[in-house]
Amino acid sequence: MGTISKRKKIIIGVVAAVLVIVLIVGLSIFGWLYAFDYRKDPVEKATSVTLPEDGKLRVLQLTDLHLTAPAWNANDKQTLEWVRTAIRLSDPDVVAVTGDAAASIYWYRQRDKAIVEIAEIMEEAQIPWMYTLGNHDGEWSWDTQQPVGRDNEEQGNEEILEVLKGYKYSLMQKGDTTGTGNYVIDVEDKDGNVVYGLINMDTHGKVFNEDGSRGPGYMGLSNEQVQWYEREITALCERAGKTVNSALFMHVPLYEYQDALDNYPLWGGFEQFTIQDHCYVPEENIGMYDKIVELGSTDFVTAGHDHDHNFAVMYEGKKDDDGIPANEGKPVILHYGRTSGVEAWERRIPIGASVIDINVYAKDTESRYKISVIEPPESFDYNEYSGW
């Protein structure tokens, strides 16, 4: 039996050492992916925000961040830095994140890590923030390690809610209707009087086919949520002792957004984008806009979802053959927030954020709202046009 030469021993030793290093690194990465201790003990949450003494509430809207969370993703790092910068530039009273903060259809996208990144930024800034779920946020369940299906479609979203229960400045609540994240935040004056409402509603994900597979369309709101909205607006106005105005934050836009784009002029003094001629609205019109007009409280609706839209319309309903709108004199502003995530799928417009200044005591809708858009300064380096 021959002996192993010294040179071969050295080679074998080097190979073994490399294999050990690879194994250690692999196990470390595996542990980093799966042993992320992200859930904190629940803390008491606020259900209201205080209106500044000048009667103007500033809301910073961030939408479609599409964080993926692996540490090597440069686009994520740029997006998170933009979130910090946008907060600093706008100095908001409250932040609204209108869906698809995370892209979670694959396990390696690390949804909960992404949510925690955002929550930590808000905690550091001590800014109350509202989270409205999008169609991508809860597509994956950590508990099952599978995409959610028709029988457990809320599981991923409820896991996100569990994460945020441990963060003081997160205002998100579940809500007693379909979906996760239907809630109302009261805006109170310095004496504790309710003077305005911030409504958040979960527009769900894709429609499921009869065989349980995902269909091509998006669900949007449900009939049960329209009933919930009516109950909550009634309760809001009862707390206020009168009818007060409110804004609705959601991800998938209302059915009427398409008619607004087709038949109304753009409104608002900010640079607007309508790159595509269609809006990704729900397949079915369930009458949510009609309920909004009927109750007479909500006069501002904002959504995300469509990465190439950023516009606003003073909408009064479908027009007849003579051009007369169905709800003439009862305008509701329909607004798309500026896409804020570098990684947003097939984004063809610059990232930014919408700043919504609400003059709560204004006498009419047009003077109640001012919309502006902030974009990264020239010194901010990011992947200008991105997509998966």
CATH code of the domain in which 169 resides = 3.60.21.10
* Domain containing residue 256: 40-374
In Å, what is the CA distance from 167 to each residue of 39, 178, 303, 313, 377?
10, 24, 24, 35, 30
Could you read off the pLDDT of 171-204 as tens digits, one per residue? 999 999 999 999 999 999 999 999 999 999 999 9
For residue 28, what pLDDT band results from cuts at 50, 70 and 90? very low
* Assigned domain for 203 exists: yes
Residue 110 scores a pLDDT above 90: no
* Assigned domain for 126 exists: yes
Amino acid letter for position 146: Q
Share of the chain above pLDDT 70, in %: 87
Looking at residue 113, its pLDDT comes to 84
Region 293-297 average pLDDT: 98
Is the pTM value of this prediction over 0.95? Answer: no
- Our separate counts of H helices and E strands in the chain read 8, 18
* Assigned domain for 31 exists: no
Looking at residue 381, its pLDDT comes to 83
* Assigned domain for 149 exists: yes
Share of the chain above pLDDT 90, in %: 69
Looking at residue 385, its pLDDT comes to 63
DSSP string, 234-294: HHHHHHHTS---EEEE-SSPPTTHHHHHHHS-B-SSS--EE-SS-----SS--SHHHHHHH
Looking at residue 24, its pLDDT comes to 53
Calculate helix-pair angle for 111-125, 74-90, nearest 10 degrees.
Answer: 30
How many structural domains are present in the chain? 1
* Assigned domain for 150 exists: yes
**Could you say which DSSP state residue 7 is in?**
H
